[in-house]
Amino acid sequence: MASPHTHDVIVAGAGLAGATFALAAARGGLKVVLIDPQPFPAQLAPTFDGRSTAIAFSTFRMLDALGLGDGLRPHACRMDRILVTDGRRPGAASKAASPAFLRFDADEIGDANGGEPLGYMVENRRIRAALAEAVTASDIDLRTPGSVVGVEQTNPAARVTLADGSVVSAPVVVGAEGRGSKVRKAAGIETVGWGYGQSGVVATVRLGRDHGNVAHEYFLPGGPFAILPLTEQRASLVWTESTRAAEALKTCSDEAFQAHLTRRFGDFLDGATPEGPRFVYPLALALATTLTAPRTAIIGDAAHGVHPVAGQGLNMGLKDAAALAEVLIEAMRLGEDIGSAVTLDRYARWRRFDNVALAAGFDGFVRLFSNDLPPVRLARDLGMAAVNRIGPLRRVFMREAGGATGDLPKLLRGELV
């Protein structure tokens, strides 16, 4: 009997999570339509997304399994070590940093991660380019520019109306349109969360010396400051500040930006020269109260917008994508209704705990470290010193950050579904 639907899965949002999910679902044999108002060429413009992403080693296995690894590897910088330091007080360069630090070393979990580094730093524009190429070459029905304007999630189908008036229907619609997801709102899924009153300033710098594949995270009173190694002796800076200070850092001259860096870090970033535009991202927590609704599943930032302190937001989103693709593909192969409540509940049960636990953990971390009260400072310095001395605990953190814990979807083990 001919299918009453135009597609098997409707994916709203061709960002990093939506495009990866679409690719995984299509590779497994599902007929996918992918909708986004931003066509891929617009997403690749130098002014679109200046971020770089710390890709956990298990997430990189997924990109490899989807055929993106070879194109990304020349642009992926190994992160062999991560140094976390309770940073300097304001006024900065002249004052001594706290002696408290944490050191994570890939060698310590060598066997568990097959000798891989802790993760790879890759510029988002490179991931977007690899996804654009793979999606365009696939049989995904790409509707860009196209925008979801209406969603009906009633049995037996989800029906989505696009801005041009066309309508697509499928047993399930996947909301991957980021924090403002229309699909999530249409399904009546609420979010809980709050703003941090902080923004992340993102800049790429060329370094005056070799970074040695080491990532640094400093916890300053204004918020975390990360220096993340990139290929070609460059680094991506993620500098958290109050939203007003962040806007000023975005628009100031390169010379003034460099002077601010020196004031904070003394000669640590000596010789670093800014490259390209700077970007500002307001930071807020937004966690969906559920991952599914009738004929609906949400993934990525549509489901959980978290603070970038641990570089895990996209890793969580890609784990959602892997889990959901696996659940839907297996249901299709068993001849089940892929959009039924029973099928979608398998996805929700798989991902709910991990997402809530990580979002809460990062939130607590930011609060603990964005505080300069002496007793709080003492407590966290003692905590860091303790974790640093206890090898097994440190290894637990590393495996968690590598995304290799828990019930892993096949793609994160490097296998196609």
Ligand X SMILES: Cc1cc2nc3c(=O)[nH]c(=O)nc-3n(C[C@H](O)[C@H](O)[C@H](O)COP(=O)(O)OP(=O)(O)OC[C@H]3O[C@@H](n4cnc5c(N)ncnc54)[C@H](O)[C@@H]3O)c2cc1C
Distance of closest approach, residue 119 Cβ to ligand X, in angstroms: 8
3-state secondary structure of 193: strand
DSSP state at residue 31: -
Question: Quick one: residue 232, left, alpha or beta (phi over 0 = left, psi -120 to 50 = alpha)?
Answer: left
Q: Which residues of 49-70 are buried (b: 16+ CB within 10 A; e: fewer)?
A: bbbbbbbbbbbbbbbebbbbbe
Distance of closest approach, residue 279 Cβ to ligand X, in angstroms: 8
The site for ligand X (CB under 6 A) is made up of 12-18, 35-38, 51, 53-54, 147-148, 176-178, 182, 200, 202, 238, 281, 300-301, 308, 311-315, 317
Closer by beta carbon to ligand X, 16 or else 261: 16
Distance of closest approach, residue 342 Cβ to ligand X, in angstroms: 26
Rg over CA atoms, the chain: 22
Closer by beta carbon to ligand X, 171 or else 308: 308
Distance CA 384, CA 378 (A): 10
Closer by beta carbon to ligand X, 98 or else 181: 181
DSSP codes of every residue in 301-331: GGTEE--GGGS-HHHHHHHHHHHHHHHHHHH
DSSP state at residue 59: H
Closer by beta carbon to ligand X, 120 or else 350: 120
Closer by beta carbon to ligand X, 100 or else 129: 129
Q: Which residues of 121-141 are buried (b: 16+ CB within 10 A; e: fewer)?
A: bbbbbbbbbbbbebbeebebb
Distance CA 34, CA 148 (A): 10
Closer by beta carbon to ligand X, 148 or else 332: 148
Distance of closest approach, residue 287 Cβ to ligand X, in angstroms: 13
Closer by beta carbon to ligand X, 13 or else 87: 13
* Number of neighbouring beta carbons within 10 Å of residue 117: 19
Distance of closest approach, residue 267 Cβ to ligand X, in angstroms: 26
Distance of closest approach, residue 10 Cβ to ligand X, in angstroms: 10
Which residues share a beta bridge with 38? none
Distance of closest approach, residue 365 Cβ to ligand X, in angstroms: 14
